[in-house]
Structure 1
């Protein structure tokens, strides 16, 4: 991973490759773990949007308050309630944590989407509608990936949020490729919906 938050926390184009590959080969929880590898617990609290933050389930510390969310749990993700008690104010500034973690998460989501497209290709149904749907998503992912690479050094919040919003829409397109099973909570495509929730805790997309 690139340098830490204290040094401005840039992300290199090679990080996009690594994080996309993690989402593609190992899934959401593993990709999230890489995205947060150099983010300590105090950073999590400082950067949380609305007082909640998503982390890999294996990273939950003793005494942490975990929000019950069965779909997230099934993907190995925990949603932590990190809101401070009334009257307390966090002194640590969020810096560029939300933007950089958001960029990293977007790369993971691109890999995860590609992983689900491969799964779609394995379906017994291989008609023209399915293949066209897959091609449409693939063609939409490439410019998003180029956009991430172009803003690795200084990721603007609005631009990162826009990428996630577009990934949200692509997640629904992928779910339709598995109609009607893609909307079941036990279908693998749920990872895309949990990924949307994860991004929302960091960027409020």
Structure 2
């Protein structure tokens, strides 16, 4: 494919960052393809991270409150049935409605996105589920006067990972910032390392 055709498809604005970095239209196309490969690698790690995270949260809350903790929590009088957890309640009920007659708790867990599971560590949701969810990270560092490794810390870490996920989906040029790609990959590994029971770190 000629560069002009490639640029027409991808847009001048998007490709300008690659041509500026390489000073060559041919190299710009190569760099763009390499960036896609890097993004695929990062996205695979994040997808595995998301599955491991939601499974750990689900397992913990099943043991604590029962198999249908999500559906029960969003029902009238449930732990999420309050103004502070309004959108959590809406997300659960929307997912249940979408599943319709195919509803099972496992399918509901899979239907809810990364942002939903991230918010399980937001203060309102963390409180609603009993302030015990940090137990899924038994290997997290001990808090110090300077750094509190509490639910807010976990929420902020997950927010950064969620941001990476969204940026990859929009083809951000991570290849131009290799330090940033490594930093974000290490962030996923470090957060997973807080709980070796989620996934063995030697897998990565």
TM-score, normalised by the number of residues in structure 2:
0.33
Higher RCO (CA 8 Å, separation ≥ 6 residues): 1
Bigger-Rg structure (1/2): 2
Query: Going by fraction, where is helix more abundant, 1 or 2?
Result: 2
